[in-house]
């Protein structure tokens, strides 16, 4: 608690400096949460503009060019700048605590990962003020993307490259952390499911993001330096981009969805007051989904003309993913079975998730059937399907996690009534928006349509869909209001407000900056629950109180990211005038200089002394 008191007394300037230089995973989590939340709102506003344009046939709310920018930026923002960082927010906030670690393996890299993501995200959005954002769809299919005029797609390429590097760094960091930094007794098969899913998702990041990196580099050379990797007129091949993009893009779905499954597993288990049913099957299913996730990318390309053999193989492989996913659904249901189910806001989101995601999975099998997908592909059916999966799966999980871990992160419980209002508005709005879109697609409405013609029987469905979207917006506003009200008025809670099961609830809320004074001894799955059922108040320590080694704060990650950000502008604008190359040199100079400084300057961190820890305990 002493750190909290210290925080309150600080000036705004020093708090800002603290966050700019922090390497503490809990503060980085807050940074990810704020930045991801900000981009979620931007992406949401873009979605509302899209839906308003489609409220009636031949509407002229936005121009065709602006509409294309809106859909491109909505997709890109929601996937890369909202869902990913929000997942990272909870991975940062929770995973080190769940495995009983004092921080992640590479705190400096953790900070670098965040700042790269943020500067990349800003870069993506700069196009809005310099004459046009990216407009080739979030999938940026060549040759549309390579021939799109202006700098919009350049911002997409450079922005994603920078933020993608951040994500890759983050993924590697979590892999190493989970492999190396588990508390004594925390074997792999005792790890909470959220940690497991974070682990598998990190492995997916490690293997999937390089494909995106390669694709973006090729596209960067096509657009900025006159190469022709994707240009058929120069002997290139535009379909290669689709392969590269989806070799990354499909695992990306699981990078988002698996941690979401982890979140629901924690919440459902906690509020049923039951151990997760079929824990080892859940772990197995997670790994299997991650593995199969790499073998199915071409199901996004059934209509490309790959031939019946390739289409059939990818169709059947894709259907196979339904099996481990089904195992998960039934395990959640049987965790609830026989439980003592308490329905509060996080639980409501988790319960809402089950039917919603089941529908998303069902349509997933439907679009996996190649010969049926010839009709679904690139129609509103697909739009409905992936929103059921990504909103119904991932966004619901993020809302659930926000309510569930808010007390751990900030020491206060979000208002439950307001939380339920948010849920019902968003849940009803969501189904209103997207359920009807399945039918719109089959009735002949292709996706990414700026206008739809009159007299096609599509008017009513689109109007309903738009109504739902605004309900979702309303739900989000209630959540924001809830956050403000709770921050101002909310009462402080203790370390374990939910009577939960995992290690993060064994330490104060919010946790001290060193997390665990003494590393805990883990004696099984749900370690805190085990101790509580045996009548102990907290975890048994695995070590005596001793000095704790902590890393120093550093401003260098911010500086490096800023360097790449500046260099990005140089790369883009040198296509008009080579003078801009100077920005490349300045930016890369800053970034490489910061790296050199990091390499040559010893940063050994510092120790919290044993005496101080003892003294603090007595206070």
Partner 1 sequence: MKDWMGKIRTLSVFSLMVVFLSACGRDNLTALVPKGYGAEESLRVIIITVIVMIVVFIVVMAIFIFVLMKYRQKKGQENMIPKQTEGNKTLEIVWTVIPILLLIVIAIPTVAVTYDLADETEKEDSLNINVTGKQFWWHFEYAEEQIQTSQDLYIPVGQKVYLNMLSSDVIHSFWVPSLSGKMDVNPDNENTMYIEAYEEGVYWGKCAEFCGDSHSLMDFKIVAVSQEEYDQWVTDMQNVDAEAVPESTTAQEGKALFEDSCLSCHAVGNTPSVGPNLSNFGDRSTIAGVLEHSEEELVEWILDPGSKKPGNGMLDAPYLEEKSVSEEDAEKIAEYLLQLKASEITPDSAQ
The residue from 2, 187, 189, 444 that contacts partner 1 (CB under 8 A) is 444
Stretch that binds partner 1, among 18-26, 89-97, 116-124, 340-348 (CB under 8 A): 340-348
- Smaller CB distance to partner 1: residue 13 or 235? 235
Instruction: Give the burial string for 254-277 (b: 16+ CB within 10 Å, else e).
Output: bbbbbbbbbbbbbbbbbbbebebb
User: For residues 528-547, which are near partner 1 according to CB under 8 A?
Assistant: 533
Chosen residue from 32, 450, 498, 558 binding partner 1 by CB under 8 A: 450
Q: Show the binding pattern over residues 490-529: x = contacts partner 1 (CB under 8 A), - = does not.
A: ----------------------------------------
| End-to-end CA gap in the chain | 10
Q: Given the rule CB under 8 A, which of 339-347, 420-428, 584-592, 598-606 is the region that contacts partner 1?
A: 339-347
Of 5 and 453, nearer to partner 1 (C-beta) is 453
State yes or no: residue 46 binds partner 1 (CB under 8 A). no
Cβ neighbours of residue 22 closer than 8 Å, sequence gap 6 or more: 28, 31, 111, 553
Q: Is the Cβ of residue 180 or residue 312 nearer to partner 1 in the bound state?
A: 312
Stretch that binds partner 1, among 174-182, 196-204, 355-363, 560-568 (CB under 8 A): 355-363
CA distances from 521 to 38, 196, 539, 591 (A): 39, 19, 7, 42
Under the criterion CB under 8 A, does residue 188 sit at the interface with partner 1? no
Residues 6+ positions from 301 with CB-CB distance below 8 Å:
239, 242, 243, 246
Q: Which of residues 261-290 bind partner 1 (CB under 8 A)?
A: 272-275, 277-281
- Looking at the Cβ atoms of 185 and 228, the one nearer to partner 1 is 228
Min dist CB 27 to partner 1, Å, is 35
Among 338, 494, 589, 605, binds partner 1 (CB under 8 A): 338
CA count, 13 A, side-chain hemisphere, 168: 15
- Which residues, 6 or more positions from 437, have their beta carbon under 8 angstroms from its beta carbon? 380, 381, 383, 384, 387, 461, 465
Tell me which of 455, 491, 602, 619 binds partner 1, using CB under 8 A: 455
- Residues with Cβ < 8 Å from 454, sequence gap 6 or more? 57, 58
Q: Which of residues 371-400 bind partner 1 (CB under 8 A)?
A: 371-375, 377-379
Smallest gap from Cβ 194 to partner 1, in A, equals: 19
State which of positions 298-327 bind partner 1 (CB under 8 A): 303-305, 307-308, 311-312, 315-316, 319-320, 322-323, 326-327
Nearer to partner 1, 38 or 334 (CB): 334
**Positive or negative torsion for Cα 502, 506, 511, 512:** negative
Residue 77 contacts residue 134 (beta carbons within 8 Å): no
Rounded to a whole number of angstroms, the minimum distance from the CB of residue 469 to partner 1 is 19
Q: Is 206 in the site for partner 1 (CB under 8 A)?
A: no
Of 145-174, which residues contact partner 1 (CB under 8 A)?
147
Decide: is 227 part of the binding site for partner 1 (CB under 8 A).
Answer: no
**CB-based contacts of 448: which residues, under 8 Å, 6+ apart?**
68, 71, 137, 378
The sign of the dihedral angle between the CA atoms of 158, 163, 167, 169 is positive
Q: Quick one: which segment of 184-192, 334-342, 553-561, 595-603 binds partner 1 (CB under 8 A)?
A: 334-342
How far is the C-alpha of 277 from the C-alpha of 290, rounded, in Å? Answer: 20
- CA neighbor of 25 nearest in space, from 95, 116, 82: 95
Query: Which of 1, 16, 64, 579 is close enough to bind partner 1 by CB under 8 A?
Result: 64
| Shortest spacing between CB 234 and partner 1, in angstroms | 11
Number of residues that bind partner 1 (CB under 8 A): 88
* Phi/psi at 327 (5° precision): -55, -45
Q: Name the segment binding partner 1 (CB under 8 A); options: 15-23, 109-117, 445-453, 502-510.
A: 445-453
Residue 445 C-beta: closest distance to partner 1, Å: 8
Rule CB under 8 A: say whether 446 interacts with partner 1: yes
Q: How far is the CB of 544 from partner 1 (least distance, A)?
A: 32
At residue 479, the 3 state secondary structure works out as helix
The helix (run of H) or strand (run of E) holding residue 251 is helix 238-272
Q: Can you tell me which of 184, 226, 457, 605 binds partner 1, judged by CB under 8 A?
A: 457
Measured from the CB of residue 329, what is the shortest distance to partner 1 in angstroms? 6
Residues between 546 and 575 with contacts to partner 1, criterion CB under 8 A: none
The reply on whether position 68 binds partner 1 by CB under 8 A is: yes
Residues 6+ apart with CB under 8 A from 117: 32, 35, 81, 84, 85, 88, 163, 166, 167, 170
Whichever of 372 and 586 has its CB closer to partner 1, that residue is: 372
Q: Please, which residue, 233 or 417, has the CB nearer to partner 1? A: 233
Q: Does 432 bind partner 1 (CB under 8 A)?
A: no
Q: What are phi and psi of 548, to 5 degrees?
A: -110, 130
By CB under 8 A, the residues from 105 to 144 that bind partner 1 are 136-137, 141, 143-144
Strand partners, 548: 608
Only segment of 58-66, 96-104, 244-252, 554-562 that touches partner 1 (CB under 8 A): 58-66
Q: Which 235-254 residues touch partner 1, going by CB under 8 A?
A: 237-239
- Closest by CA to 493, choosing from 404, 407, 414, is 407
Q: Give least dist CB 28 to partner 1, A.
A: 35
| Distance, C-alpha 583 to centroid of its chain | 31
8 Å CB contact between 148 and 192: no
445 vs 447: CA distance, rounded Å: 7
């Amino acid at each position: 608690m002493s750190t909290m008191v210290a925080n309150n007394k600080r000036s705004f300037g020093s708090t800002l400096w603290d966050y700019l230089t922090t390497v503490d995973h809990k503060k980085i989590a807050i940074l990810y949460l704020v930045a991801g939340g900000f981009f979620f709102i931007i992406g949401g506003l873009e979605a509302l503009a899209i839906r308003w344009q489609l409220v009636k046939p031949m509407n002229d709310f936005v121009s065709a060019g602006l509409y294309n920018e809106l859909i491109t930026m909505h997709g890109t923002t929601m996937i890369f700048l909202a869902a990913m960082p929000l997942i990272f927010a909870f991975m940062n906030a929770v995973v080190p605590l769940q495995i009983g670690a004092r921080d992640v393996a590479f705190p400096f890299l953790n900070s670098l990962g965040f700042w790269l993501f943020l500067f990349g995200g800003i870069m993506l959005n700069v196009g809005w003020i310099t004459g046009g954002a990216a407009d080739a769809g979030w999938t940026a299919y060549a040759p549309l993307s390579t021939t799109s005029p202006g700098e919009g797609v350049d911002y997409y390429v450079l922005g994603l490259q920078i933020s993608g590097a951040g994500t890759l760094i983050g993924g590697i960091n979590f892999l190493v952390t989970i492999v190396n930094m588990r508390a004594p007794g925390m074997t792999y098969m005792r790890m909470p499911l959220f940690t497991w899913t974070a682990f598998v998702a990190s492995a997916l990041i490690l293997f999937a993001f390089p494909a995106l990196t390669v694709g973006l580099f090729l596209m960067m050379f096509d657009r900025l330096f006159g190469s022709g990797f994707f240009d058929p007129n120069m002997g290139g091949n535009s379909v290669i981009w689709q392969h590269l993009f989806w070799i990354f893009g499909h695992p990306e779905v699981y990078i988002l969805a698996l941690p979401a499954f982890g979140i629901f597993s924690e919440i459902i288990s906690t509020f049923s007051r039951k151990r997760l049913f079929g824990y080892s099957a859940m772990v197995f299913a997670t790994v299997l989904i991650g593995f199969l996730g790499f073998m199915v990318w071409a199901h996004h390309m059934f209509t490309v003309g790959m031939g019946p053999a390739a289409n059939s193989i990818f169709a059947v492989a894709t259907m196979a993913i339904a099996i481990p996913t089904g195992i998960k659904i039934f395990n959640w249901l049987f965790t609830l079975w026989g439980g003592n189910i308490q329905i509060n806001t996080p639980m409501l989101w988790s319960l809402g998730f089950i039917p919603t995601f089941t529908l998303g999975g069902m349509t997933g099998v439907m679009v996996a059937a190649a010969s049926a997908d010839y009709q679904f592909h690139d129609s509103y059916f697909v739009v409905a399907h992936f929103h059921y999966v990504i909103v119904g799966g991932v966004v619901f999980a993020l809302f659930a996690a926000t309510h569930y871990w808010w007390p751990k992160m900030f020491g206060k419980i979000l208002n439950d009534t307001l939380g339920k209002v948010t849920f019902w508005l968003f849940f009803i709005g969501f189904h209103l928006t997207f359920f009807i879109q399945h039918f719109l697609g089959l009735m002949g409405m292709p996706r990414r349509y700026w206008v739809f013609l009159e007299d096609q029987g599509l008017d009513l469905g689109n109007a309903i869909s738009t109504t739902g979207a605004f309900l979702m917006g309303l739900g989000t506003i209630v959540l924001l209001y809830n956050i403000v009200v709770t921050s101002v008025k909310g009462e402080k809670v203790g370390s374990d407000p939910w009577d939960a099961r995992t290690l993060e609830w064994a330490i104060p809320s919010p946790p001290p900056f060193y997390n665990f004074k003494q590393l805990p001894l883990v004696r099984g799955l749900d370690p805190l629950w085990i101790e509580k059922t045996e009548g102990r108040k907290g975890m048994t320590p695995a070590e005596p109180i001793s000095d704790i080694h902590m890393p120093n704060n550093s401003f260098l990650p911010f500086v490096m990211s800023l360097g790449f950000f500046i260099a990005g502008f140089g790369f883009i604008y040198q296509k008009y005038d080579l003078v801009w190359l100077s920005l490349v040199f300045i930016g890369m100079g800053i970034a490489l200089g910061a790296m050199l400084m990091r390499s040559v300057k010893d940063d050994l961190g510092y120790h919290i002394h044993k005496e101080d820890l003892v003294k603090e305990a007595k206070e």
